[in-house]
Amino acid sequence: MSRPRSPLTGWAFLAPYAIAVAVLVAVPVLLNVGYAFTDHTGLTRDPQFVGLANVRRLLDDRFLLDSLEASLFHVALAVPVRFLAAVGLGLLLAAPRPGGRWFRTAVYLPTVIPDVALAVLFLWVLNPLYGPLNQFLGLFGHAGYNWLADPTTARIGVVLMLAFPIGEGFIVVLAARRLLDGRLYEAAALEGCGPFGQLRRLTLPLLAPVLVLLAVRDIILTLQVNFVPAYVLTDGRPANATLYLPVYIFDQVFEFSGFAYGSLVTILLMLITAVIITGLLIAVRRWRVLR
Amino acid sequence: MNEPRGTIRLAALTRSYGRTTAVDGVDLDVSAGELITLVGPSGSGKSTILRLIAGLDRPDGGRVLVDGADVAGVPPHRRAVAMVFQDYALFPHLTVLSNLTFGLRVRRVRRAEADRRARAAADRLGIGDLLDRYPDQMSGGQRQRVALARALLRDPSVYLLDEPLASLDAPLRFATRADLLALHRELRTTTIHVTHDQHEAMTLGDRVVVLADGRVRQVGPPQQVYDEPADTFVAGFLGSPPMNLVPGGGVLGGDPALTLGVRPEDLTRDDAGPITATVEAVEALGSEAILLTRCPDRTRLIVRTGPRPGVAPGDEVRLRADRLHQFDAATGRRR
């Protein structure tokens, strides 16, 4: 005989997490919204309400436009690249094969390397004189690029670096693929469905819920994790090409004592994230990706 | 060559997985239009044989001939076989209609024609009103019919049914068994049906193939296999309750070189019978009763009687064995 559990038991288990979310997430979010309409510098204790002054500044801010362009370029390139890499490698390495575990380890390894260390490594990879990437291009007769000195190649350089730490998405795809019933593939094979047909008609539709979730997660992540590479590789340069929103927010808040303005840009970043994700979900619904 | 459509020949077919031999030199001929049942305990190689015929697995040795042609190297979809899986393997993200048209669309049949054929197959199996449902919105019996309709649409030479009734509850299994038989009589297409259920084996097949440890132990019409089991394994496997097997003869008549067997229904209560036994348990099944008895030499005998046998645990009964089976004590083979 087990005694019926009190509903309080569930709340008690939830409490530590709920308190942490309230104190570390909800309260800062609300404070952030409040600070966005003040003159708070981060250094004084008595921020004053300034109405829409920060909003007017935001609409007039040409650096912010650069930052927005850099972030949108980054998300448009990095999300598909990371997504395709994670899904492609996950599906490729899901089946048991000789040496498979070594390949899987190799794919996951960059994820456990600290961002700063990876960025320093990419300083070497992208070095125009002795970097392996230019040497590789040299094999095909290409003169190579001055990667971090040109606005476009600098942005591509950051995307290249972030194309490697894809371990979490990779693991999720790997696990989800392994959960699919092998009989379905046998039934499809009996119907004459080859490997690409199986990928198109079975694997991708069956994984769709997981893939949509991964895409949403990667959009959120990608808009934020470019901070470290941008700071280490390019420091927002050249010509503000890598002045991504997180870098711009950091600069405003901690370099220029513009805590209030930085808070407002944070809200903008959140809104942009929400708009992109909403667009994705509308596309998913329209294309009937999910049942 | 020139064999009629639907013949299957397995010649010395062998398949191992690591150190485990799943199929061990199986020879079998299936005639066109025949319904044959492969029966055996779990791990006896039944499903592996189906997979080898379907081309979902490759043999280590031996040959599979479909319609007289060796199908080694022929991909599954070119083998003119259709398979119904135990769990039906319906595509969960597709409606019934899309499940049925899946293969047709892969084979580039135009959508309108594919839909027409799918609807005809669905109507034939009585699932025409389920075409918009997803597999998880249907009962086990309905899913099984969808799987059968999908197989039907392939218009194969041979149907391979891998325990298609195993997931159904008892009443539905009974009804579906009859439906399967009716469908087979209508189509007259060669069918290989795998089961571990001896009721299915006895009632469904023109012939039954008893398998154990990857080897064929006996092939024949169900009643013949039941009446004249080739060895002690078949004797013990077919029949419920199983045949009473007494090594050395014992209470059934001593001969150390023999194992004697008697079916529970061939043991009759007879006050003048030579066997004395004590009833340990009575299983009343309504239409009949099963007596679990123990002889003085500890031999256990199972007796099938009519309903309401009028005995209770602890009672002594005398029994007469009407029909004995003799097996070699060393090899277990029938004598």
* Alpha helical stretches, state H, A126-203: 132-139, 151-162, 167-179, 182-190, 195-198
The pLDDT value given to residue A156 = 93
Q: What's the pLDDT score for residue A1?
A: 53
Q: Which of A180, A181, A185, A191 to mutate to test the interface with B (most CBs of B within 10 A)?
A: A191
At residue B1, does pLDDT exceed 60? Answer: no
Task: Report CB contact under 8 Å: B77, A192.
Answer: yes
Q: Are B106 and A184 in contact (CB < 8 Å)?
A: no
Report chain A residues whose CB lies below 8 A from the CB of B85.
183, 186-187
DSSP string, A20-58: HHIIIIIHHHHHHHHHTTB---SS-S---B-TTHHHHHH
Q: Do B103 and A184 touch (CB under 8 A)?
A: no
Question: Would you say the pTM of this structure is higher than 0.80?
Answer: yes
**Residue A185: what pLDDT?**
95
User: Cα A79 from chain centroid?
Assistant: 7
- Give A285's pLDDT tier (boundaries 50, 70, 90): confident
| Domains of chain A in sequence order | 75-241 (1.10.3720.10)
Sign of the four-CA dihedral A235, A241, A245, A248: positive
In this structure, the number of other CB atoms found within 10 A of the CB of residue B283 comes to: 12
- Is B91:A202 a contact under the CB 8 Å cutoff? yes
Is A190 an 8 Å CB contact of chain B?
yes
Amino acid in position A65: L
Checking if the pLDDT of A59 tops 80, the result is yes
**In contact, A146 and A177? CB cutoff 8 Å:** no
- Superfamily per CATH, domain B246-328: Nucleic acid-binding proteins (2.40.50.140)
Q: In angstroms, what separates the C-alpha of A291 from chain B's closest C-alpha?
A: 7
Q: Which residues of B touch A291 (CB under 8 A)?
A: 93, 134
Q: Burial code of B70-103, b = ≥16 C-beta within 10 A, e = fewer?
A: ebeeeebbebbbbbbbbbbbbbbbbbbbbbbbbb
Q: How far apart are the first and last CA of chain B?
A: 38
Q: Grade residue A32 by pLDDT with cuts at 50, 70 and 90.
A: very high
- Measured between alpha carbons, how far is B315 from A185 in angstroms, rounded to an integer? 59
CB contact (8 A) between residue A188 and residue B154: no
Give the closest-approach CA distance of B270 to chain A in angstroms.
51
Per-domain residue ranges of chain B: 8-234, 246-328
Average pLDDT over residues B280-290: 93
% of chain A with per-residue pLDDT over 90: 66
For β-strands B258-262 and B244-247, DSSP reports them as antiparallel
In this prediction, residue A258 has a pLDDT band, given cuts at 50, 70 and 90, of: confident
Question: Taken in order A167, A171, A177, A182, is the CA torsion positive or negative?
Answer: positive
Residues 6+ apart with CB under 8 A from B178: none
Mean of per-residue pLDDT scores for chain A:
90
pLDDT over 80 (residue B2): no
Give the residue with greater pLDDT, A291 vs B235.
B235
Chain position carrying tokens 């498979």: A100
The pLDDT value given to residue A2: 64
- Average pLDDT (A94-108) is 92
Single-letter amino acid code for the residue at B320 = R
Report the pLDDT value the prediction gives residue A236, as an integer from 0 to 100: 76
Task: Decide if B8-234 and B246-328 have a common fold.
Answer: no
> pLDDT averaged over chain B?
92
Whether the pLDDT of residue B208 is over 70: the answer is yes
Instruction: Kindly state the average pLDDT of the residues B116-134.
Output: 93
Has residue B73 got a pLDDT over 90?
no
Q: Which two tokens stand for residue B88?
A: 């039906």
Contact A184 B89 (CB under 8 A): yes
Please give the class, per CATH, of domain B8-234.
alpha beta
Closest chain B residue to A205, measured at CA: B93
- Residues B266-277: b if buried by 16+ CB within 10 A, e if exposed: bbebeeebebeb
**Has residue A289 got a pLDDT over 80?**
no
Q: Is A3's pLDDT higher than 80?
A: no
**Is A291 within 8 Å of B56 when comparing Cβ atoms?**
no
Residues in chain B: 335
pLDDT of B122: 93
- pLDDT value at position B249? 80
Mean pLDDT confidence for A193-202: 93
Instruction: Tell whether A290 lies on the interface with B, counting CB pairs under 8 A.
Output: no
**Is the per-residue pLDDT at A7 higher than 90?**
no
Q: Chain B: residue nearest A207 by CA? A: B93
H-run or E-run covering B308: none
What percent of chain B lies above the pLDDT cut of 90? 74
Mean of pLDDT values over A166-177: 95
Lowest mean pLDDT among B20-24, B66-70, B131-135: B66-70
Q: Count CB neighbours of B15 within 10 A.
A: 22
- Direct distance between the N- and C-terminal alpha carbons of chain A, in angstroms, rounded to an integer: 42
